Amino acid sequence: MKRIAIVLALMVLCSMVNAQAVVHSQDDPNFSMKCKTGQYLKYTITSNESPYTVTINGIKGDTENIKKIEIPATVHYRNNDYAVTTINRNAFSDISTLTSVTIPQTVKEIKAEAFKGCSALKTIKIGGTIEHCGENAFAGTAITKPMYTGNNLVYYPSNMAEYKVNEGTEAILEYAFGNCTEMTSITIPASVKTIYITSFDKCNKLANIVVADGNRTYDSRNDCNAIVLSAENKIVRGCSNSTIPNGITSIGRNAFANIPLQKIDISNTVATIEDSAFYNCELTSITIPESVTKIGASAFIRNKKLAVVNFNAINCKPMDNKYPAFEHCMALISVNFGEKVKIVPAFSFMKCEELRYATLSNSITEIGDKAFFECKMLSYLELPNSVEKIGLQAFYDSGISEPVHSEHLFAYFPPDYAEEYAIPEGITKIAQRAFHYAGHIKSISLPNSVKEIEPFAFSECYDIESITMSNTIEKIGHRAFMYCTKLKTITLPNTLKDIDDEAFMGCETMENIIIPNSVTEINSKVFLGSGLKTITLPQSITKISETAFVECPKLKTINIPKGTMSQFKGMLNSEYHSKLKEK
């Protein structure tokens, strides 16, 4: 009888549990629990250790005719009490009959569109303080009054033109004014300590911004019509009438994003323009002052009316490669570099497909990687003599149709320019990738002024058959002639001191080469995958990399000077000893 009683008791207990919760497998973080207003609410465990927490995901089952929802502060599940801390994205969206919601003090975050489209929702009772609120969390509801929790402004529903934030407000949460598309004026009281990047998202008609005197965190100095983070001298939110006063050192992320800003002067104290700072504005021209050292990702992207950029930044760091600063500026046709500019930053004007004119000043010493990459309408560029360094693919896939060079530096050869070409006298250096992938070039002559061939200079010139080297060459860079698959012979001068790694990698038809007496080392994989049959080495060689001749299956003879057999056997792996031949 006792056993039967115990079984019956367990059955009753299980039925009670099942009446309150829908139980899932032991490892499943999702479960449902009945709340006071009768609905089964869906939860996901976010912490299975103390403090135990869950996110609420919405209602399980039919949502028709639901008028009230009371979210519990805690739910008891699997012997633990879980605090409800977050209302998830779209958790209660589009419940058209919902009129009232009670949110407990444990909830600190309401995610995007949580109550979006609840067209009858007028009353929200919040027991605690909401610290974060997502985009459109209350869009399309019937809420008519500003929503506060503690001293945090969570949501402002009105589309009035002017608004003064209540004195005593300490934080304006994310997207608090996200639906105020007609707002033109805002006043921030002295009490506000926290404003987020997205607090005024979509307030694109703002023309007047005032921060009250006495605010210890923010200001709108010099009537600048902007919100300035005082301690950092950073503009965090601007408007169509903003000015940037002296003393400002940073323009914050998204500060002017989507604002119909037509003109602005950036003061010469600004050092940083952060990501998307001027995203999708209506600027027609912009001057980057000398003081700027960093321009962030997508800083000026989609300024469809921007035609001219005057770039005066003296030492600006490389820009973002993945999200170029001026990408999709479809009206940008001219870039002018100031007389003090030293570096054209890497990636600075890449993918500016309509750019036609780039005026380089005589102060520029370096053009960074991909600076004019895919500038398809840029047909000509005059390179000043001050330029000493050209970055990787600086002009790659641009519209430049004539060779680019200064008096001493050869920078770029258009892929389809000619089959034969003589590099001008006076050139001392062939820049990295200058002839890279020049598909039609068959013959090149180097003048006696050339001293250095930089890495990748002639790489992947698949049709090149003949290179007339100068008698002044001192260095051949890394992969300088990589995959010149039709290059049969090359005469190296006695001035050559250094042949870098993989310099002749993949030169399949190169059968013979003579290394001059001026060279002392054969570096790693110099002839990797080449067609070498014979190589002649001088007595000056003191070191040969063990991978120097790797994957050279046709190599049969290594000519060396008489009396040096032991010298070269000491430098070469035994597999090459039988190929050594004294001459």
Domain ranges of the chain: 18-128, 402-583
The pLDDT confidence band at residue 32, using thresholds 50, 70 and 90, is: very high
- What's the chain's average pLDDT? 94
Tell me the per-residue pLDDT of 48-107, one tens digit each, with 9 for 90 and over.
Answer: 999 999 999 999 999 989 999 999 999 999 999 999 999 999 999 999 999 999 999 999
pTM for this prediction: 0.86
pLDDT at 578 over 80: yes
Helix residue ranges per DSSP H, 133-280? none
pLDDT at 21 over 70: no
**Identical fold at 18-128 and 402-583?**
yes
Chain centroid offset of residue 169 CA: 36
pLDDT at 17 over 50: no
Chain centroid offset of residue 100 CA: 43
Options 3.20.20.70, 3.40.710.10, 3.80.10.10, 3.30.450.30; CATH for 18-128 is: 3.80.10.10
DSSP per residue, 364-390: --EE-TTTTTT-TT----PPPTT--EE
Q: What pLDDT score does 439 carry? A: 77
The pLDDT confidence band at residue 497, using thresholds 50, 70 and 90, is: very high
Q: Tell me the mean pLDDT in the region 283-287.
A: 98
How buried is 114 (Cβ within 10 angstroms: 0-12 exposed, 13-18 middle, 19+ buried)? Answer: buried
Q: Tell me the mean pLDDT in the region 388-416.
A: 93
Any residues with CB less than 8 A from the CB of 38 and at least 6 apart, and which? none
CATH superfamily of 402-583: Ribonuclease Inhibitor (3.80.10.10)
Q: Where is 19: in which H helix or E strand?
A: helix 2-20
How buried is 543 (Cβ within 10 angstroms: 0-12 exposed, 13-18 middle, 19+ buried)? Answer: exposed
How large is the C-alpha radius of gyration of the chain? 35
Q: Tell me the longest C-alpha to C-alpha distance in the chain.
A: 111
Q: Tell me the mean pLDDT in the region 500-510.
A: 97
Tell me the per-residue pLDDT of 434-473, one tens digit each, with 9 for 90 and over.
Answer: 999 887 899 999 999 999 999 999 999 999 999 999 999 9
The pLDDT confidence band at residue 20, using thresholds 50, 70 and 90, is: low
372 contacts 358 by C-beta, under 8 angstroms: yes
Q: What pLDDT score does 15 carry? A: 41
Q: Which of 153, 160, 168 is nearest to 212 (CA)?
A: 168
Pairing between strand 389-390 and 404-405?
A: unpaired
Which SS3 state, helix, strand or coil, does residue 404 take?
A: strand
What is the token pair recorded at 312? 């005066």
Q: What pLDDT score does 160 carry? A: 84
Give the neighbor-by-neighbor strand order of the sheet with 162-164.
162-164, 185-188, 208-211
- The CA distance from 573 to 578, in Å, is 10
> What does the buried/exposed string (b/e) look like for 118-140 if buried means 16 or more CB atoms within 10 Å of the residue's CB?
beebeebebeeebbbbbbbbbbb
Tell me the per-residue pLDDT of 172-192, one tens digit each, with 9 for 90 and over.
Answer: 999 999 989 999 999 999 999
